[in-house]
């Protein structure tokens, strides 16, 4: 499979994708501005806001101590989170509206087998970029014969524009991509091109190829889409582009990732996305879904989309989380997502540093103006600072200068910044791990020992998980602590790079109107 993320590099050479948090791109697809400046390019900025309370760097220590306390995730807290996740899953399966977790039926009741053949497309919309992909499938013997993709950055104004504007932009990008289809991709004569549409926002699925948008998340606030069938929105935009394509499957990124990973490994039972936003899905028995007792599937199983970003029970929150939530476009919603996903980690750290700078001399006698700008500090910045193992934390100094205008910082101040990053990221990773264990616990209880007693794979995707080594480490440590050393040996947490794209194409193949002809 080809690489599908455009990368920035942390000082330690750990790659950071633009897709992790929508870093600005130029008009040319795939071009970007370097994240970490070289010393020669450091610029000095004006300091404007005087500290409300003068003091030394040490005056920030009480805030740091309180942050450690409020963000702590000892084993009893993790157990409570895992148990609450399992309980909320059951409540959401029992009745709509009975839980924070919507537990949405995906209408995917057949998973890839390797027999799939033909040319299929995938469109992946789930963050600050959208991706188009084509894949030639060759059946059991040849599997994925060839694949190509392109990634396009979505202009900020379209994320807050109209439905028609957003979908026209996406359809035009897809049209340009289809126009480049080469001879190595073969569409049988008389067939329409078919596409799997990965749409990674809360949708009330009504069939395998239709679904009503419940609400936008992850910083999107497009007007006029909520309550509409997103496949119809895409189809109308494709018609305006003069394109004759058929959407064969509508899935979210978690469902697509599970399908893509299952294509290669039959032990995959759960998929988790940790990138700009977050979500999880898993394979469920139909008879364990009370709210869908009248519905049957040929396999007796389906994939349930948990929409776990809305989980909120028992989370260890700080004043900084609560203030960020109040000022967000969706206050009171997506609390788990706001605690563990790539879009928000940098913003939480910024708020902590702003408070510290206001009550101490963390960055000298003044607070830089840019430190007051929401979301100016991004998760790739955190990762780059977190990798810095130099004696004087030089990368921390450079990033503080470039991103928030800190023209002078002492080694002690940089250590405090690094510790704040670690505290917020550690909490996020460990809570994500507890969420995974909650899903596995629910499955284990229902299957009476068939999950922890054998090899069970959790497929992971998303730039945050892939490119932030400390986050990944904290997540895995959390899972091991909760399950114990023996049971955790059977739970394989495995990165599935770009699984949602190939998974959507595979689901389009499974649900193709031509499938009986293959």
Residues taking part in catalysis: 218, 253
Q: Which residues contact 41 (CB under 8 A, 6 or more apart)?
A: none
Structure tokens of 308?
């776990």
Which contiguous run of DSSP H or E holds residue 491?
strand 491-495
| Closest residue by Cα to residue 270 from 459, 86, 109 | 459
| Closest residue by Cα to residue 199 from 216, 219, 182 | 216
Helix, strand, or coil here: 97?
A: coil
CA 12 to chain centre: 23
- Rounded CA-CA distance 192/146 in Å is 19
Instruction: Report the sign of the C-alpha dihedral through residues 335, 159, 210, 111, in that order.
Output: negative
Q: Are 277 and 150 in contact (CB under 8 A)?
A: no
Helix, strand, or coil here: 122?
A: strand
Structure tokens of 287?
């008879």
- Rounded CA-CA distance 6/151 in Å is 9
Whole-angstrom CA distances from 136 to 145, 150, 197, 287, 363 are 5, 16, 17, 36, 55
User: What stretches of 5-131 show up as alpha helix (H) in DSSP?
Assistant: 61-71, 75-94
| Closest residue by Cα to residue 496 from 462, 460, 463, 464 | 460
């Amino acid at each position: 499979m080809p690489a599908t993320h455009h990368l920035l590099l942390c000082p330690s050479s750990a790659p950071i994708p633009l897709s992790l948090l929508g870093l600005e791109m130029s008009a040319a697809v795939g071009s970007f501005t370097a994240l970490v400046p070289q010393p020669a390019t450091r610029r000095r900025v004006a300091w404007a806001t005087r500290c409300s309370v003068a003091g030394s760097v040490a005056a920030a220590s009480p805030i740091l101590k309180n942050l450690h306390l409020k963000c702590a995730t000892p084993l009893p807290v993790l157990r409570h989170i895992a148990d609450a996740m399992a309980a909320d899953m059951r409540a959401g399966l029992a009745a709509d509206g009975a839980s924070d977790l919507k537990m949405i039926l995906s209408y995917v009741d057949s998973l890839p087998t390797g027999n799939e053949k033909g040319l299929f497309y995938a469109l992946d919309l789930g963050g600050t970029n959208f991706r188009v992909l084509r894949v030639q499938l060759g059946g059991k013997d040849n599997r994925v014969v060839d694949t190509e993709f392109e990634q396009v950055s979505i202009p900020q104004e379209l994320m807050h524009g109209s439905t028609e504007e957003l979908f026209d932009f996406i359809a035009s990008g897809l049209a340009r991509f289809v126009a480049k289809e080469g001879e190595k991709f073969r569409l049988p004569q008389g067939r329409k091109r078919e596409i799997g549409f990965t749409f990674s926002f809360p949708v009330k699925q009504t069939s395998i190829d239709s679904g009503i948008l419940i609400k936008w998340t992850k910083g999107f606030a497009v007007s006029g889409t909520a309550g509409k069938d997103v496949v119809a929105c895409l189809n109308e935009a494709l018609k305006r582009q003069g394109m004759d394509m058929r959407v064969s499957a509508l899935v979210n990124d978690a469902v697509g990732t599970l399908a893509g990973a299952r294509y290669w490994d039959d032990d995959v039972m759960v998929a988790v996305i940790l990138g700009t936003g977050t979500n999880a899905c898993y394979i469920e028995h139909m008879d364990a879904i009370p709210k869908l007792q009248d519905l049957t599937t040929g396999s007796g199983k389906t994939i349930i989309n948990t929409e776990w970003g809305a989980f909120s029970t028992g989370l260890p929150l700080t004043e900084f989380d609560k203030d960020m939530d109040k000022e967000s476009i969706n206050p009171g919603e997506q609390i788990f997502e706001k605690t563990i996903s790539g879009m928000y980690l940098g913003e939480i750290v910024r708020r902590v540093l702003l408070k510290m700078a206001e009550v101490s001399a963390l960055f000298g006698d003044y607070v830089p103006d840019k430190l007051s700008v929401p979301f100016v500090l991004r998760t790739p910045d955190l990762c780059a600072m977190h990798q810095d193992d130099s004696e004087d934390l030089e990368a921390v100094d450079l990033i503080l200068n470039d991103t928030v205008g800190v023209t002078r910082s002492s080694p002690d101040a940089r250590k405090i910044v690094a510790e704040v990053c670690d505290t917020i990221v550690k909490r996020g990773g460990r809570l994500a791990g507890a969420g995974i264990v909650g899903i596995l616990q629910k499955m284990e209880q229902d299957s009476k020992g068939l999950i922890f007693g054998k090899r069970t794979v959790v497929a992971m995707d998303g730039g945050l998980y892939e490119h932030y080594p400390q986050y990944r480490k904290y997540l895995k440590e959390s899972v091991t602590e909760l399950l114990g050393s023996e049971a955790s040996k059977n739970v394989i947490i495995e990165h599935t790079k770009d699984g949602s794209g190939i998974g959507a194409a595979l689901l389009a193949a499974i649900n193709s109107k031509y499938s009986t002809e293959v």
